[in-house]
Amino acid sequence: MSSILVVEGEGLIAELLRGTLGREGYQVVMSLNVEDAVRFILRDIPELVIIDLMAPGVDGYDLIRRLRDHPKSMHIPIIALSARSSMIDKVQAFELGADNYITKPYSTEELLAHVRRQLRRIQQTSLSPLTHLPGGLQLEHAIEYKMKSATPWSVLYVDLDNFKAFNDVYGFLAGNSMILLVGRICQRVVYEYGNTDDFVGHVGGDDFVIVTTPDREKVLCKEILARYKEESISLYLKEDVDRGSISGVDRKGRPYQFPLVSLSIGIVSERIRCAHSIAEVGLLAAEAKRYAKQSSNNISHLSPQWSKKDYPHSFHASSVNRYIPHLGHNLLYFIEEDALAEYKL
């Protein structure tokens, strides 16, 4: 069921909108002021926001600007409602980031047509088709947003270990179920234990990134790993669970027992001395994940003393310095390259 936030300052009109959309099967949440709307949007991430620009006590234009400025809400479609039909008002709304501008009075059929169109569009464009989580440029903006703020930041790189073997033995549908499970666990844990504006992104494949603050690192990692260990059991055959491994074949066609799929989390924070650019954060996140895969507790936090001289042979400081100027803000380059490398082994 698609969730829609309606920001409307008049209770009667708000209830009429709730009734109209609710009868069509949408889950509707109402907000009568901007601050409550922003808090809800950053925490619950509705699939669509409808804003009455003329509602008493609501600065609809400011709300549009704030939603478009924040990486966690920049992708959410916005439908603006207004009694004003001048070109100046419409242009202002569109330039701030509104996706539709509907002039009052409007018909129910017109409103519902715009709602359906925007919900289809968001599913087809900026979100992962599988997990419905943001990635790509939106993930880069989320990290850049944190790096530019005065708030301490941490990046958690979440990745499945031995996933390829599971995918080969159980099939791609089971593999999709496991990826969906990890995405849902990350979302639930961040919702319950994270900050309101913490960001969960899907890089692709079995790789996820969480942007949070250092004070939430420990509890997020603990809960994600515990829930994954408990909930992932249902994806295996009983005999594999009892044995603690998956029967498969290696790349040379020889029988091999693969471990059950585990989860590793690499952590990078602003305390790392050499994390000066978003490209370096991407490289460091990939490196932290490699350490996590070798750790006994599946977690690795690069220490504040870690520096470019500590890069492994595949990422010597000289090669890093050569790549970064050409990458600009491409955070995902090193993360995606690292993820692809797992499948080349």
pLDDT of 249-283, one tens digit each?
877 788 889 999 999 999 998 877 555 678 888 88
Contact, 207 vs 182, CB < 8 A?
A: no
Confidence of residue 304 (pLDDT cuts 50, 70, 90): low
Report yes or no: 284 and 268 within 8 Å, Cβ to Cβ.
Answer: yes
| Domain 3-124, classified CATH 3.40.50.980, yes or no | no
CATH superfamily of 136-342: Reverse transcriptase/Diguanylate cyclase domain (3.30.70.270)
Check pLDDT > 70 for residue 342: no
Supply the pLDDT for residue 281.
83
Model pTM?
0.75
- Give residue limits of the domains in the chain: 3-124, 136-342
- Alpha-carbon gap, residue 181 to 131, rounded angstroms: 9
Neighbouring C-beta atoms of residue 151, cutoff 10 Å: 13
176-235 tens-digit pLDDT? 999 999 999 999 999 999 999 999 999 989 999 999 999 999 999 999 999 999 999 999
Q: Is 334 exposed, middle or buried (0-12, 13-18, 19+ CB in 10 A)?
A: buried
* Proportion of the chain above pLDDT 70, given as a percent: 84
Residue 178 near residue 166, CB atoms below 8 Å? yes
**Confidence class of residue 14 from pLDDT cuts 50, 70 and 90?**
confident
Q: What pLDDT does 255 receive? A: 85
